[in-house]
Copies of this chain bind each other. A is one copy, B any other.
Amino acid sequence: MSVLRPALAIAVKDLRIEWRHRTALLTATVFAVLVLLIFVFSRDAGSVSLATIAPSVLWVALALASLVALNRAFLLEREHSALDGILLTPAPRAALFWGKWLANLVFVLVVQAVAFPLWVLFFNVPASAALVLLAGVAVLTAIGFTAVGTVFSAMAVRTRFAELLLPVLLLPFMIPPVFFATQFTVRLLSDRPAGELWGWIRLLLLYDVVFLMVATLLFPVVVDE
């Protein structure tokens, strides 16, 4: 049986459910914004200027928000053990991964699409062409996060601690991309030569490629017994 059709069916199903009451979407976005805010407030205005923490805040906020978003992915497969329903069909396991991953990616991108401009606003980042590049980097991180996250959330959901376990498993995997992205951002905002920037993008790309491949390979092991 082809992979594409069931994969799309799964992604569409996820997004449709999400769209129906947007709980998770709303939550993840508000969450991102609140994290931005909590930083603004929890910093010592005297000694720390907004500009200096802006990059960190952006990436921590986006990382944590993606965490929230990914939690959702397999929770909705849990009620009435709907996942069994999928596993009982001839749809290939790869389709399940690609479908879930696609839905997660879209989801995280939407959250980013809201959070990113707000970050620009709150931290009055000079609006410039550079921001487009930054948005591109955000997409790269999202791809990596969701690839790993899709595998882990499929595991975590089988336990009673899904919402606790997922962050703990996923965060260590988020550190490298977050670091690369921050370094990139810092250099971008203090407009360094393109050469310096490119290096960090390459690292992000490498990360994405590696973990997309690994995730695709390992996912079937997780869902099939």
A contact set with B: CB distance below 8 Å: 23-24, 26-28, 30-31, 34-35, 37-39, 41-44, 46-48, 52-53, 55-57, 59-60, 63-64, 68, 71-72, 75-76, 79, 159-165, 167-168, 171-172, 174-175, 178-179, 182-183, 186
Q: Are B34's CB and A172's CB within 8 A?
A: yes
Q: Are B24's CB and A164's CB within 8 A?
A: yes
A53 to B55, CA, bound (A): 13
A165 to B22, CA, bound (A): 11
A34 to B176, CA, bound (A): 12
For A164, list chain B residues within 8 Å (CB).
Answer: 23-24, 27-28, 31, 68, 71-72
Query: How many copies altogether?
Result: 2
Nearest CB in chain B: distance from A159 CB, A: 7
The dominant DSSP class at the A interface is helix
With A34-B172, A38-B175 known, 13 other A-B pairs at CB within 8 A are A30-B171, A34-B171, A41-B182, A42-B60, A44-B56, A47-B186, A53-B53, A64-B64, A68-B164, A72-B163, A72-B164, A75-B160, A79-B160
